[in-house]
Structure formats: structure tokens, C-alpha cells
Chain A
Amino acid sequence: MNAPEKIAVTSVDANNLPEKGDVAMTDETSAPVILTVKNLVKHYDSRKGLWGRLTGKPGNLVSAVNGANLIIRQGETVGLIGESGCGKSTLGRTLLRLHEPTSGEINFNGIDIVGLSDLEMKDMRQHMQIMFQDPYASLNPRKTIEEIIGLPLKLRGELTNQEIRQHVEDIAKDVGLKVEHLNRYPHQFSGGQRQRIGIARALIMKPKFVVCDEPVSALDVSIQAQVTQLLLKLKQQYRLTYLFVSHDISVIGYISDSVAVMYLGEIVEYGPTRKILHHPQHPYTKALLSAVPRMSHKSAPADRVQLKGDLPSPLNLPSGCKFHPRCPVATERCTAEAPVTVIIQDNHQVACHLASSE
């Protein structure tokens, strides 16, 4: 929350961004921008109860998202990584206005959706969907699979029951469910199959943009791979754009074209996957990557960057660069002055005083 940062980020304009170069896995370098997020802020007022409201005392502000900026191109998968509590899920949900943003701009296909009325937003939502982490909590136990998957179509009220059934059957096949599964209830399915149901529900409206909120994190390793491959297949088939939120950096590295690294509500580094994973610039990204245990290591590497302590409370954010209390290379400047987001190379941007353009 500081002036220089805001100014700097508004200058990161979609049209001024250089081409993506040799690093893209799929060729969407010239693809149009589908989603632009500018300076998105989401604060929660932690003041609770009648007394707080009556006395009108200002409550504590939890700064979950703190001026996030993102540009997502059509057909791209953007991975969003960070520790739990860094605001990555909140960001994903605020993008769909499942949480109302405190301030900032969310431009989807040329429309600023922050200003839309509820009714207009309802129309917009068919293009923007979400799949959730917990395949147990996100499905209504009293509804059959057909009802769960078909509900979005039914709510639109444009199709007959028979047409809806046909759509549900088609999408069920696409996600690897059988037609005879459709009359069963969620408890009759394993975690992996439930996640497929959640995916079918998210895709039934043929959305353009899907927020995947840790869709494979709750699954066993072998099932995780099945669902990951399914998501990649569906992305091609339905021409989707994903924002893939996960704390599993290996999965993000596998599925994403670009990676955004989030720390305490801010995106501290953003760029093509290979740039971020092979040449990270922000000390936090370096620490995150270095902490991932790898099968290629015979023992824990001696030069592993060990971060001190936990993520600070979002109730009481550090001054200057928010990472400075845990940063192994912090200087005095970092404690006082918040870094500005700079583009160091191609599409690679980073918010750190020590990162210089190469």
C-alpha cells in the first residue's frame, strides 16, 4: 500500500509487454489478453460483533490481497504459487467476484467487471468458472451427479430437461465419468472421481476462463497425475485459460506457461515458467524453489536457502518490502522502502530492490 508501487504497476500495460519469446510451451504469444488485473486490493475487516459495530471503532484490517497485478492471455495457464495465507486463493476468488474487491480493476475481455451489477455479473459468470480444492466439501451430498453438473444450465433456463441431460452426458464422458454414474450421489465416489465431477460442473457452461483452486492438492499421487493430465486435455479441447492456484511447485511447473509468485498479498515475481523456475530473481522465489525436495537430490543440499520463521500475520504487515524480515539478503533500504515492480527481461517482472535488469 504505497504510492510508488502503484504508479509503477500501472505502467505495466498489457499492450506494452514484449513478446514472450522462446519460453512459451504453447504458442499464445500473440494471443489476445483475456484478463487484466490492476492494483487489486481485498481487505477484510476483522472487527466482529455488535459491540464493534455499535461503537464504530475501526477494526483491524486483514490485507489479503494488496495491489495485485496480472495479465493473462487467452489459452495460457498462469500458475499462482505462495505459502498458505499469502492470499492466492483470495485473489483467485476475487477475480470472479466471489469476494467483492475492496479496490482495483478486473478487466475481462474488455469489460471492467468490478462495476457490473449482480445481474450483469451473473451473465458474465458463465465465462468465468472455478474448481475447488476439497472434492468432499464442494459437492452437495443430497444431489445426484446429474443434478450437480446440470444445475448451472438449469439456472439459465434456456434448455429443456432433455437437452440438459444430453449436455451433462457429453461433459461427463469428457471428464472420464460414465453415464451410469450420473444417478449416483457424491458419497459413492472416490476423491479423484469427485474432482472430475467438480471439473464437469465448472466446464458445463463452456467458460473461457477457469480458476483452478488447488484442484489436485487433496488427491493421492497417482490420482493427482490422472487429474492433472485431464485438466491439460480439457484445456485443449475447450480452449480454456487457467489460473492455476497451488502450493505444489512441481505441479505448477508442469502445467503452467507463466508463474506468478505471491507473498503477503502481493505478486513479487511474474514471468514465463522457465524463467521463474530456472532463473528466479526474487529472493523469496529462490527460497521457495530451493526448499522443494527433489528426487534428483541424494541428500538435502547444503546450500538450501532456509527462510527464518513463518509468514507474518496479514493483520500487521512489515514496513518497506514485506519480505524483508525473512529475507536472507535484505538491506537497510528494504526495511524502509517498498520495492517497485520492474520488468527485467521480456515478460519477466519482479518487485525487489536487488533485482537489476540484465
Chain B
Amino acid sequence: MTTKLSERSDPILRVSDLQTNFATRAGIVTAVDGVSLDVYSGESLGVVGESGSGKSVTFASVMGLIKHPGKITRGSIDFLGQNILNFSEKQYQQMRGKDIAMTMQDALTALNPAFTVGDQILEVILVHDDDLSGSRRQKKQQAYQKALDMMNLVGIPSAESRMDDYPHQFSGGMRQRIMIAIALACKPRLLIADEPTTALDVTIQAQVLELIARIRKDLGMSVVLITHDLGVVSEYCDHVVVMYAGQIVESGPTAEVIKTPAHPYTRGLLSSIPSLDDLDRIIEPIPGQVPELINLPEGCRFYSRCSFATDACQKTIDMVSVAEERQVRCILKAGEY
């Protein structure tokens, strides 16, 4: 499962010191501030954080989806050894859907209501798949077959007849599957799943997550799972990064982070979630709320909510290594509090 750092090859995705800004009427909002992370081949990375923590914007930046008034102002994004930040729109189009694919949280708005789901899967294959050969008609036939295979792969019942249905004719879980089918149609190296199950019931969530895990194994694909559910991360991700107010505050192997959280925010998150395994444990909420991104404090962004804060926390704090593969943005190292 978890491979040691030394045993892993180069990462397929390396984000270094990424900063993404949005110009608003009230001023510049830094949604992502100095995010660095690696995704290795065949691995699954969980990205955890509350709304506004910058987790979706980080990966929208990776996909080249940041448009005016947003701007990537610092850092680099290397995918398969290429700095994709310098890519032209055309190069991005060649990469998106083929090498990296992303599924959006809200499948109903992400799918085009005016086209059948069959057409929407077909489109990706016709644009990106190099294995198609022959005349245009033959290519289309091959693509149709592949689209149908994808529908079957993601477990849509009576796939052939449902190819001609429109998105609104599907349930939430089925729409999420269709989006996964579109994302996986060209067998990408990396799948970014943005809150794939947030809108779904637990029973359907289990189906969708199992599906992603199975395909990941079959295709040897890497997966980034953006979520706020630490239970999902624990079950499906090898590594985890925890984000808070635009920054990564902690990263490491999932089991270790959950067992011995190093950052007070991670600790607070873990103790604010009720557990079905221990109904007697009293949950402890984190006091206060996330600071506004437009009006961030000087030093540690968690300062005002942290029960261990000292004066020393009011200066800029960098990520430090606390153990092998484990980093934390806190001057109090694990065990010191």
C-alpha cells in the first residue's frame, strides 16, 4: 500500500510553491499560497480541508482552469517532467482528458444538458484517442464501442439504451459515474476527483469510491481525492495533505497523520468529528471560524483558533519535517503539546 519515499520513482505531478490570486473589488485574494505537493505513480493522495481552504483552486490551477480574474502568480507545476504552467491553451487541451482528468463535485452542472451522455463520452474519445483507425465512420464506430465499454465499466445498468439519455434522466450517483466514465475514457495517468461523493448518500458513495479504487488498480492510475471526509481519506488514500486558509498545514502517510496528528488544526478536525466506533467520545469543536482570505493574519493562520498559540506563532511559519515523509507548518512539533 504505502510505499516509502526512497522506493518511489519521480512523482508524476509535482506542484512547487504554487500561488493563485483572485482580483476582487475588495482587493487581491490569495486563494492558494505556497502549496507544494507530489503525486506518485499509482498512488492516491487525499486533500482535506474546509470550504475556502484552497483545495479545489489548487487543482483547478493544475488543470489550467484558472481564468480571469484569477491568476497563478508564483510557483511551478510539473507533470510527467514538463512544466505545464508554460503550456499554451492548445497544449492544455491536448493534456486535459488524456493525461490528467478531473471530475467535478456537482455532476449536474458539469455535464452538458443539451447532449446525450453517450455523445459526451464519445467526444473525449474522438478528440484524444490515438488508437482509433480507418475512415471517419469507422473511427466513430470504434469510439462508440469504447464509450459503451466505459458505461459498462462504471456500472451503468442497460448501458446501451442509456447512451442516448440526457444527464437529467440520471440519478445523482449515476451522473457522478458518467463523469467518471468521461474522465477515464482515455485512461489518464492521473485522476483528480473533486468531492466525488459529497452530494451522494453513503450507500452510493461506497459504490463510487469502490469504482475509483478498482479502476485505479486496474489501470495503475494515480488519484487525487479532494474531500472533507477524513473517513474517506483513511480508507482510500495512501497519503494526505491537510489545507487551511490557502496553505498546506500538514502532510504525510494517512494512517500516521490520523493516528498522531502533528498540527493543532488536524488535531482539532479529528476531535470535532463524531465516531461510530466510539459513541462515548465527546466531540470538541474548534472555536471561532476560518479567517477571511482577504484579511489574513501575519503569522500562523490558525493562530486565533489555536489553544496552543504563543507569541512566537505571529511570525511567518514554514513547513518543517517532523518525521520521514511527514511535514507540518507549526512551531510546536508533534508531542510538544
Which residues in A have some Cβ–Cβ distance to B below 8 Å? 83-84, 190, 192, 220-226, 228-229, 247, 249-251, 253-255, 273-274, 277, 287-301, 304, 306-307, 309-311
Interface residues of B in 114-132 (CB under 8 A from A): none
Q: Which of B61-69, B103-111, B143-151, B207-215 contacts A (4 or more CB under 8 A)?
A: B207-215
Number of interface residues of B (CB under 8 A): 45
Which of B201, B268, B287 gathers the greatest number of chain A CB atoms within 10 Å? B201
Chain A nearest Cβ from B260, distance in angstroms: 13
A225 and B202 form a contact (CB under 8 A): no
B273 and A300 form a contact (CB under 8 A): no
Contact of B234 among A223, A273, A274, A298 (CB under 8 A): A298
Contact of B279 among A273, A295, A298, A309 (CB under 8 A): A273
B285 and A307 form a contact (CB under 8 A): no
The 5 closest A-B pairs by CB, nearest first: A293-B231, A254-B274, A225-B272, A225-B285, A220-B50
- Give bound CA distance, A229 to B286, whole Å: 11
Q: Which residues of A contact B258 (CB under 8 A)?
A: 295
Supply 25 A–B pairs (Cβ within 8 Å), ascending by A.
A83-B203, A192-B289, A221-B269, A221-B272, A222-B285, A226-B286, A250-B276, A277-B276, A288-B203, A289-B276, A291-B205, A294-B235, A294-B276, A295-B231, A295-B258, A295-B273, A296-B234, A296-B277, A298-B234, A298-B235, A298-B255, A300-B235, A304-B210, A310-B171, A310-B173
Q: Which residues of A contact B201 (CB under 8 A)?
A: 83-84, 247, 311
B203 and A251 form a contact (CB under 8 A): no
Q: Which residues of B contact A220 (CB under 8 A)?
A: 50-51, 228, 290
A294 and B272 form a contact (CB under 8 A): no
Q: Which residue of B lies closest to A83 (CB)?
A: B201
Q: Which residues of B contact A310 (CB under 8 A)?
A: 171, 173-174, 204
Given the contacts A228-B283, A250-B273, A292 and B202 also touching, CB distance less than 8 Å: yes
Is B232 on the interface with A (CB-CB < 8 A)? yes
A292 and B174 form a contact (CB under 8 A): no
Q: Which residues of B contact A277 (CB under 8 A)?
A: 276, 279
Q: Which residues of B contact A249 (CB under 8 A)?
A: 202, 276
Is B230 on the interface with A (CB-CB < 8 A)? yes
Interface residues of B in 221-251 (CB under 8 A from A): 228-232, 234-236
Chain B nearest Cβ from A318, distance in angstroms: 16
Given the contacts A249-B276, A304-B206, A310-B173, A293 and B229 also touching, CB distance less than 8 Å: yes
Is B319 on the interface with A (CB-CB < 8 A)? no
Please encode chain B, from 270 to 294, with 1 for each CB lying within 8 Å of some chain A CB and 0 for all others: 1011111101000111110110000
Chain A nearest Cβ from B294, distance in angstroms: 14
B231 and A221 form a contact (CB under 8 A): no
B275 and A250 form a contact (CB under 8 A): yes
Q: Which residues of A contact B172 (CB under 8 A)?
A: 84
Q: Which residues of A contact B268 (CB under 8 A)?
A: 222
Is B1 on the interface with A (CB-CB < 8 A)? yes
Q: Which residues of A contact B289 (CB under 8 A)?
A: 190, 192, 222-223
Q: Which residues of B contact A222 (CB under 8 A)?
A: 50, 268-269, 272, 285-286, 289
- Give bound CA distance, A287 to B210, whole Å: 15
Chain B nearest Cβ from A39, distance in angstroms: 26
Is B134 on the interface with A (CB-CB < 8 A)? no
- Give bound CA distance, A226 to B286, whole Å: 7
Contact of A292 among B50, B210, B231, B286 (CB under 8 A): B231
- Give bound CA distance, A299 to B284, whole Å: 26
- Give bound CA distance, A112 to B66, whole Å: 58
Known: A220-B51, A293-B232, A297-B231. 8 other contacts (CB 8 A): A249-B202, A294-B235, A298-B234, A300-B235, A304-B210, A307-B203, A307-B206, A310-B204
Which of A84, A254, A311 gathers the greatest number of chain B CB atoms within 10 Å? A254
- Give bound CA distance, A50 to B40, whole Å: 61
Q: Which residues of A contact B202 (CB under 8 A)?
A: 83, 247, 249, 288, 291-292
Contact of B277 among A190, A274, A294, A307 (CB under 8 A): A294
Q: Which residues of A contact B277 (CB under 8 A)?
A: 294, 296
Chain B nearest Cβ from A196, distance in angstroms: 12
Q: Which residue of B lies closest to A293 (CB)?
A: B231
Q: Which residues of A contact B229 (CB under 8 A)?
A: 293
Is B335 on the interface with A (CB-CB < 8 A)? no
Q: Which residues of B contact A295 (CB under 8 A)?
A: 230-231, 234, 258, 270, 273, 275
Is B157 on the interface with A (CB-CB < 8 A)? yes
Chain B nearest Cβ from A175, distance in angstroms: 14
- Give bound CA distance, A247 to B157, whole Å: 26
- Give bound CA distance, A294 to B209, whole Å: 13
A287 and B203 form a contact (CB under 8 A): yes
Contact of A221 among B171, B213, B273 (CB under 8 A): B273
Chain A nearest Cβ from B225, distance in angstroms: 11
Q: Which residues of B contact A255 (CB under 8 A)?
A: 274
Chain B nearest Cβ from A309, distance in angstroms: 7
Chain A nearest Cβ from B200, distance in angstroms: 9
Given the contacts A295-B270, A297-B234, A225 and B210 also touching, CB distance less than 8 Å: no
Q: Which residues of A contact B287 (CB under 8 A)?
A: 226
Chain B nearest Cβ from A245, distance in angstroms: 14
Q: Which residues of A contact B209 (CB under 8 A)?
A: 293, 300
Q: Which residues of A contact B273 (CB under 8 A)?
A: 221, 225, 250, 295
Chain A nearest Cβ from B234, distance in angstroms: 5
- Give bound CA distance, A277 to B277, whole Å: 9
Please encode chain B, from 256 to 268, with 1 for each CB lying within 8 Å of some chain A CB and 0 for all others: 0010000000001
Q: Which residues of A contact B274 (CB under 8 A)?
A: 228, 250-251, 253-255
Chain A nearest Cβ from B212, distance in angstroms: 11
- Give bound CA distance, A299 to B234, whole Å: 7
Q: Which residues of B contact A83 (CB under 8 A)?
A: 201-204
Q: Which residue of A lies closest to B234 (CB)?
A: A295
B286 and A225 form a contact (CB under 8 A): yes
Q: Which residues of B contact A301 (CB under 8 A)?
A: 235
